[in-house]
Structure 1
Amino acid sequence: MRLDKFLKVSRVIKRRTLAKEVCDSGHALVNGRVAKAGLEVKPGDRVELNFGPRKLIFEILDIKETVPAKEAGSLYKIIEQ
């Protein structure tokens, strides 16, 4: 699954267009490397998002195309916030 789509499905970022902007501006790293929106992510990948002074680091646990809002948090595990 594409990184921008995962961020939207998991509800880490509210809209896919915003997720794409974050990725394409260089504020997203996957496994320590700058990631573009089209990067294919898989379970076990470590994602770091930089929102100015805030940083969110999480590990992808599962990939699903659609998820109810209640289960969105089960797709990743927050490592640092």
Structure 2
Amino acid sequence: MRIDKFLKLSRIIKRRAVAKDLADQGRIEINDKRAKSAANVSTNDLITIHFGNKTIVVKVLKLAEIVKKDEAAEMYELVSESYEQDKENE
């Protein structure tokens, strides 16, 4: 499954176009390798997403073509979430 589609179906990112833009900007990695929006993800892959000053790492648990809203969280496991401190405020 394409990374942009997975991020949308799992509700990590609300819109596929936003996921595509993030990937094309180099802000998404699959197993520590920069990923384009067409890159494929598999179960057990680690996805790192850089949102501004926030970075999350999720592990892919399952892939599905059709996902109900309440089942979306079952597609991944949050491995870590970190925030980069604003250097101007130090």
Q: Does 1:59 align with 2:59?
A: yes
Task: Provide structure 2 residue ranges, at least 5 long, that are not aligned to the other structure.
Answer: 82-90
Alignment-derived partner of residue 26 in structure 1: 26
Alignment-derived partner of residue 9 in structure 1: 9
Task: Provide structure 1 residue ranges, at least 5 long, that are not aligned to the other structure.
Answer: none
TM-score (norm 1): 0.98
Q: Count residues in correspondence.
A: 81
Identity within the alignment, %: 37
Alignment-derived partner of residue 36 in structure 1: 36
The structure, 1 or 2, with the larger RCO (C-alpha pairs under 8 Å, 6+ apart) is: 1
The amino acid across from 1:22 in the alignment is: L
The amino acid across from 2:20 in the alignment is: K
Determine the C-alpha separation between the residues in 2 that align with 1:33 and 1:54: 18
TM-score (norm 2): 0.89
The amino acid across from 1:76 in the alignment is: Y
Q: Structure 1 runs of 4+ off > 2 angstroms?
A: none
Determine the C-alpha separation between the residues in 2 that align with 1:3 and 1:47: 9
The amino acid across from 1:59 in the alignment is: K
Q: Which structure has the larger Rg?
A: 2
